[in-house]
Amino acid sequence: MKLKFNINSNVVKSKNNLEIARKYHHYDNVESIHVTANEDVYHIDAVVSVFNHPQKCSLDIKDNQVISYECSCPFNDQDSMCGHLGAVILKLNELEINELPFDYQSDKLQKIKEIEKENQRQRRKAQLRQMASMSTKLIDFNKSQYQTDLRLSINQEKYDLTPNVYLNGDEIVLEYKIGNEKKYVLKNIADFIDRIQNQENHKYGKALEFVHSEKSFTDDALKQIDLMKKALIIRRYDMEEYPYYYEPIKRSITIDPRLFDEFYDANKEIFSLGEIECNLRLYILKEDDYYIVRVNVDEPIYIGGKHGYRYGMNNGKFYMDRMIFDEEGNVCRFLSSIMDNEGQLIILEEQYQDFYKYVLLPILSYFEVFDETSNDIPTYDEIKIYGDIDDDQMIYFQPVYVDENQNRVYGFNDNIITTYQQDIVEKYIEQYASSIDQNKHRAYFDTNSQTTYEFIFEGLDYLKQYGDVYVSEALKRVGKKISYNLHVGVSVENNLLKFDISSHEIPKKELQDVLNQYRRKKKFYRLKNGELLYLDSPDLEELSEFMDAYHVDVKDIDNGEFSMNKQRMLAIDEENDFEYVELDREESFVETLDRFKSATQKEYPVPQNYEKILRDYQKEGYVWLHTLKYYGFNGILADDMGLGKTLQIITLLDSLETNRPSLVVCPSSLIYNWEDEVHKFSKQLSVTCITGNGALRKELIKEIKQGLYVTSYDYMRRDFELYQDIEFEYVILDEAQYIKNQKTKNAQSVKTLKTRCKLALTGTPIENSLAELWSIFDFLMPQYLFNYHYFQKQYESSIVKNNDEEKTKQLKKLVTPFILRRNKKEVLKELPDKIEQNMILPFSDEEEKIYVANLAKVNEELQQLYDIEGSDKMQILKMLTRLRQLCLEPRLVYDNIDQPSSKLKACMELIKTMQENKQKVLLFSSFTSALDLIAEECQKAGITYYMLTGSTNKEERRELVSRFQKDDTTLFLISLKAGGTGLNLTSAENVIHYDPWWNVSAQNQATDRAYRIGQKSNVQVFNLVMKDSVEEKIIEMQKRKKELADMFVENNSGGLSQMSKEDILSLFTM
């Protein structure tokens, strides 16, 4: 298309505006035009720039007629367009438009941009040139420095300064010559110093030109240069204070008294300056309320900063003698004050003691003193420091000052005048002491403070430079660990462990008090015979730690003896960490222990009818169970799942000769399993299942007499009061992890039962935390692992939070003797392999979009939830469940999806492959709704299956298990919660975990429905896991949580209630 506008310029009604439009057009002020069309109406947007002020305007044109226009300038109105719009029309009439939308750009604009760009480039160039001046200066400076260094390196000669001294009145004047062989007069000392500081080259004459640097001068010359610099500084200061009196230093230096010391030191060797003693006489007079101090000297002296001087000319030769005073300048300051005050000092009577201490005392040795007052102030120059421990077990130090007649006064005393050295001693002690007793003149020290021991071991050495230090024998032992040769004998007496503590140094009757003081962090204990014991002892530390480990209270010790339950015998025998305490296992203890450890089938023969049934490890378990019973111990049979824990218990119960009944408490799904196993193996042990409604159970409990009774945890919670009058021979908890939470009715109810012996059966005594192990032991042997508060503080927190290896070792020592654990790999050499495989499956594109969208929403909700105090973990579980369902099957969450999920398709492929190979499969899921969808797909594919869920009653469970074991049904769909325990399904060779569960041991238990005694084939275990999902996070968490249980037993599990905030948040990431 070709478009050419032909708009009459008369549409600009105002002649003035039209004239302006033509000028704008002439000067090419129209920068840009944009043309679009809507049917037969053309819309124009344009920019007109005048003096770099752009103005936007627009037009609508139909049939070359302007139907509307707009511009924000003040010259545009309803009567006439403005010059901007007129210029746009004139430009439009010139343009030939080939296609829409159309854009026009003025060449002028481009030129302006190019000019501006060039201007910027020139400005930048000028800026860089200006900035380069800094680097030019730097180059020039460094180049000059380089050349100076070069000349200095080449010129190895060092130049000398020769001073010339003369007197101007009584002022010392110095002039200098510079050079070695040929010397030149130094005409301006200030310029000379500047040349050195700036490292300038300077020519003194034909024979002397060099770069001035301190490296260019001899050591003697450098001393003179240092003197010159100080003189220049003093002169500059004086000129600022008195500008009309002083002139700048040029050719000569007049030595100010403030420079006498430096002048003497710099010229001592050159002019052979000497040293003399000066007789100074000090007179102290009293007049009314004032003291008058005067000084008399044989000859006039000049006072420097630190020393006094006499100087003059002798036969044209300068001489100067120094009178050496103190380095601090106290004497010079004193003498200057007297000279400035008409030869005397007047002191107020009330200030005389301070004057004497702070002014006179430090300088008295330099004067011959004539004290004409009656005020005789004694001086105690000798310092002695005594340290000891008082009757209140407090460490104290006491300074004592002695005069030449051996008269003594105590320090920390406001009534004496102390010397500078004595003040140092007192102030130094004060900075370490916890308190000062002015009445006893003692400094007391906190025995629990580290600074006390720093003072004893380091501070006393420091004080020895000021005086003699004496410490008592008791104090000498402080800080040095002392062994009290503690001996602990352990024996078995009256079915208890008896401990007997003895020590040569500590009477048995006082052991309790000594330990009590030690455990209260006290450092000392005074025996009744008066001897003071220092309690920092490795023996006491070990004994205290031993008492902590076994929760022994000091008040339990009587005359050096205390007792423990015999159950702790095995742990005590493992105590081999004593380094200082001697632990003596007495004969009764050793004999009892040996009998326990060496128990064999000779002592506890397996009943004849079980001899061929039991495997060797099961016989060992039987002996172990009998040994526990004989010694009054209880324990955990923690064999791996499928190793026949039930059979070992039946053998034990069948061997008992007792009139008392025994009780098994188990999950409800296992009640009839116990009945079947007893009937299968025992010919004489009667078994009764206490089930049914409340009335029936009540009648059955009333009839309990002899034999074995089986009930569930659920029934026990409701019936435990009915059992209170019955004493059992054994109470056995099957799947004892059901009482892992000490606060639940499960745990509380079974702990009320009366019984002679207790056993716990579980492959997983620890699933989430050590508190679960404590709860099981609290059932077996109450207080063996102490009360829970103590156990949590002493063991659980240290092990879980701090990974404390020592506490881990201690706890293992306690629990190991009472846990018997064997796994399949150890004892079933003939058992085929179990091969586990994680199948990582990708989401489809659509599934990933759904998952990610839900994940984002959950993350937002989760953050809001955590911002609320006391976040609800049930709410979090709900969020997690939604994500887990999306991993399994989006149809569990959304009704509008009709296709099976990627996971379900992969699972069906796996099942079909197993069906083709005539292999049976167990499939576990924690979602029964997912099992229903799998069942639908199986029906479509013609795959035979059974399904077992929580709604399947006990009788039907037995029937389904029996049929699957015998027929050729391919698949058994099982709810993880309902069928994870108590089933024997060894006909299956494959296990599929459709979704990972928090509790890995629950998955292992489910797997062991197939992988157990009786399995002939290798078992393949498939864990189906969706990639980049919460399922992968659960697998990672299972691995981490397993480590805790591995320390003490073997298996482990995780659970939401035990997770930290960080653990939970990590689940909600990709």
- 913: domain CATH number? 3.40.50.300
* pLDDT digits 0-9 by tens, 751-782: 999 999 999 998 877 777 788 899 999 999 99
Looking at the fold, whether 1041 and 901 belong to one and the same domain comes out as: yes
Q: Are 596 and 590 in contact (CB under 8 A)?
A: no
| Boundary of a domain, candidates 350, 371, 392 | 371
With a cut of 80, say whether residue 486 has pLDDT above it.
yes
- Looking from the CA of 799 toward its CB, the CA atoms found within 13 Å total 22
Looking at the fold, whether 859 and 984 belong to one and the same domain comes out as: yes
What is the pLDDT at residue 1049? 58
* 111 within a domain of the structure (yes/no): no
Q: What is the dihedral of CA 204, 206, 211, 213, to 10 degrees?
A: -50
E strands, 372-407, are: 382-389, 395-402
* 581 within a domain of the structure (yes/no): yes
What average pLDDT does this structure show over 163-192?
94
Q: Which residues contact 921 (CB under 8 A, 6 or more apart)?
A: 911, 914, 970, 971, 972, 988, 990, 991, 992
* pLDDT digits 0-9 by tens, 252-264: 999 999 999 999 9
Radius of gyration over alpha carbons of the chain, in Å?
Answer: 52
**Which band of pLDDT confidence, cut at 50, 70 and 90, is reported for residue 1054?**
very low
Looking at the fold, whether 168 and 280 belong to one and the same domain comes out as: no
Q: Which of these ranges, 40-49, 682-691, 800-809, 986-995, has the smallest mean pLDDT?
A: 800-809
Strands 532-534 and 487-493: unpaired
Q: Which of these ranges, 529-543, 863-877, 900-914, has the smallest mean pLDDT?
A: 863-877
What's 213's DSSP letter? -
| Boundary of a domain, candidates 792, 827, 862 | 827
What average pLDDT does this structure show over 524-531?
80
Q: What is the dihedral of CA 224, 225, 228, 230, to 10 degrees?
A: -110
Residue 1032: alpha-carbon gap to chain centroid: 29
Q: Supply angle C-alpha 186, 187, 189, rounded to 5.
A: 75
Give the CATH number of the domain where residue 447 resides. 3.30.70
Looking at the fold, whether 256 and 281 belong to one and the same domain comes out as: no
What is the pLDDT at residue 400? 93
Q: Which residue has the higher pLDDT, 933 or 863?
A: 933
Candidates 473, 482, 472, 487; CA nearest to 534 is: 482
What is the pLDDT at residue 1045? 59
* pLDDT digits 0-9 by tens, 303-350: 999 999 999 999 889 999 999 999 999 999 999 999 999 889 999 989
Candidates 349, 333, 331; CA nearest to 289 is: 349
Give the CATH number of the domain where residue 775 resides. 3.40.50.10810
Looking at the fold, whether 993 and 875 belong to one and the same domain comes out as: yes
With a cut of 90, say whether residue 538 has pLDDT above it.
no
Per cent of the chain over pLDDT 70 is 93
**Which band of pLDDT confidence, cut at 50, 70 and 90, is reported for residue 1059?**
very low
SS3 track for 308-326? EEEEEEECCEEEEEEECCC
* 706 within a domain of the structure (yes/no): yes
Strands 687-689 and 252-255: unpaired
Q: Are 254 and 247 in contact (CB under 8 A)?
A: no
* 124 within a domain of the structure (yes/no): no
Looking at the fold, whether 529 and 573 belong to one and the same domain comes out as: yes
Looking at the fold, whether 296 and 366 belong to one and the same domain comes out as: yes
With a cut of 60, say whether residue 188 has pLDDT above it.
yes
What is the pLDDT at residue 518? 87
Q: What is the dihedral of CA 317, 323, 326, 328, to 10 degrees?
A: -40
Q: Which of these ranges, 1-15, 160-174, 175-189, 900-914, has the smallest mean pLDDT?
A: 1-15
* 112 within a domain of the structure (yes/no): no
What average pLDDT does this structure show over 640-645?
80
| Boundary of a domain, candidates 337, 371, 405 | 371
Question: Which tokens go with 929?
Answer: 């709704």
* 805 within a domain of the structure (yes/no): yes
Residue 63, domain extent? 3-105
Instruction: Please tell me the total count of domains within the chain.
Output: 7
* 127 within a domain of the structure (yes/no): no
Looking at the fold, whether 930 and 1048 belong to one and the same domain comes out as: yes
Candidates 520, 513, 518; CA nearest to 539 is: 518
**How far is Cα 439 from Cα 923, in angstroms, rounded to an integer?**
88
User: How many Cβ atoms sit within 10 Å of the Cβ of residue 678?
Assistant: 22
Q: Which of these ranges, 191-200, 399-408, 710-719, has the smallest mean pLDDT?
A: 399-408
Bridge partner list, 923 = 973, 992
With a cut of 80, say whether residue 1067 has pLDDT above it.
no
**Which band of pLDDT confidence, cut at 50, 70 and 90, is reported for residue 376?**
low
What is the pLDDT at residue 630? 87
Q: How many residues does the chain have?
A: 1070
Q: Which residue has the higher pLDDT, 875 or 722?
A: 722
- Looking from the CA of 655 toward its CB, the CA atoms found within 13 Å total 22
What is the pLDDT at residue 940? 93
**Which band of pLDDT confidence, cut at 50, 70 and 90, is reported for residue 872?**
low
With a cut of 70, say whether residue 1052 has pLDDT above it.
no
Q: Following DSSP, what letter does each residue of 184-209 receive, concatenated?
A: EE---HHHHHHHHHHT-EEEEETTEE
**Which band of pLDDT confidence, cut at 50, 70 and 90, is reported for residue 18?**
very high
Token pair 């489809």 is found at: 844
Instruction: Check the CA dihedral 136-137-138-140 and report its sign.
Output: positive
What is the pLDDT at residue 267? 93
What average pLDDT does this structure show over 882-887?
90
* 435 within a domain of the structure (yes/no): yes
Looking at the fold, whether 662 and 797 belong to one and the same domain comes out as: yes
Query: How far is the CA of 637 from the CAs of 229, 624, 786, in angstroms?
Result: 93, 9, 21
Exposure string for 865-876, b = 16+ CB within 10 A, e = fewer: beeeeeeeeeeb
What average pLDDT does this structure show over 555-582?
83
Looking at the fold, whether 815 and 853 belong to one and the same domain comes out as: no
> CA end-to-end span of the chain, whole Å?
55
With a cut of 60, say whether residue 1051 has pLDDT above it.
no
With a cut of 90, say whether residue 649 has pLDDT above it.
yes
What is the pLDDT at residue 194? 94
Candidates 469, 464, 397; CA nearest to 434 is: 397
Question: Which tokens go with 495?
Answer: 């079915």
What is the pLDDT at residue 980? 63
Looking at the fold, whether 761 and 897 belong to one and the same domain comes out as: no
Of 362-366, 550-554, 970-974, where does the model show the most confidence? Answer: 970-974
What average pLDDT does this structure show over 66-83?
90
Mean pLDDT of the chain: 86
What is the pLDDT at residue 997? 83
**Which band of pLDDT confidence, cut at 50, 70 and 90, is reported for residue 1042?**
low
Looking at the fold, whether 963 and 1007 belong to one and the same domain comes out as: yes
Token pair 């030690």 is found at: 518
* pLDDT digits 0-9 by tens, 683-704: 899 999 999 899 999 999 999 9
